[in-house]
Amino acid sequence: MKIHTFQGGYDQNFTYLVYEQKLESQDYIGIIIDPAVSAQEILQFAEKNNIKILFVVIMHSHFDHLVDLDIYLKKGISIYAHKSIHKEIASKITKKINNNEIINLDKLKFKVIYTPGHEKDCICLLLENSGNKSLPSYLFTSDTLFIGSYGRVDLPGSNVTEMADSLEHIKQLPDDTIIMPGHDYGDKKQSTLGEEKEKNTFMKVSKKEFIEYYD
């Protein structure tokens, strides 16, 4: 399994291409997580590296995370989004996904975690190590959790209490889970959940304290 990070977009966005070699084959299959950079850049990389992209997963419906969806659709690539996705883009969604649903990419399994707060349709994706403790798990957090911070809750569609609940949910995952955020807003590009619980002020506080911060 490999992860290639693309950076750019509207505001230091990250888009991730996770790909895996097919069983008994030299070919690769991949999934795009958080389409925030040029599709042309991603598709050129995929072609050069013999990767067939099967899915694009939208992490929430803000404009800077919905880049070039029509290009993917024209190429027959499925687009997934949470079932609460905004009606304005519902026509572009191939499949609506639910909390705790598993997206399979050959041997890889991505668990959908519904994390409203920054926006009603926010999700995270958990790529678990499948019981192999020598391998890390990855949590793709988009705009729910950043390195050292979290997604804004002062926008239309955002909700402080829902964000507090979502962060509490994330805290229950193993500390060695690698955090893969949606923007390059921190002092490094990735972190672990344990580091965030230790250093990220808003991951150290309780749900009650988080909500009171906005009162």
Domain spans, the chain = 2-212
Q: Which pLDDT score is estimated for 133?
A: 67
- 66-108 pLDDT tens trace: 999 999 999 999 999 999 999 999 999 999 999 999 999 988 9
Tokens of 118: 């920054």
Count of residues making up the chain = 215
Q: Give every residue of the chain whose pLDDT is below 70, as ranges.
A: 130-134
Q: What is the homologous superfamily of the domain 2-212 according to CATH?
A: Ribonuclease Z/Hydroxyacylglutathione hydrolase-like (3.60.15.10)
Q: Answer for the pair 92, 73: CB distance below 8 angstroms, yes or no.
A: yes
44: burial class by Cβ within 10 Å (0-12, 13-18, 19+)?
exposed
Q: Which pLDDT score is estimated for 25?
A: 81
Tokens of 114: 């519904």
Q: Which pLDDT score is estimated for 2?
A: 95
Q: Which pLDDT score is estimated for 131?
A: 60
d(CA 130, CA 132): 6
Q: Beta partners for 30? A: 19, 53
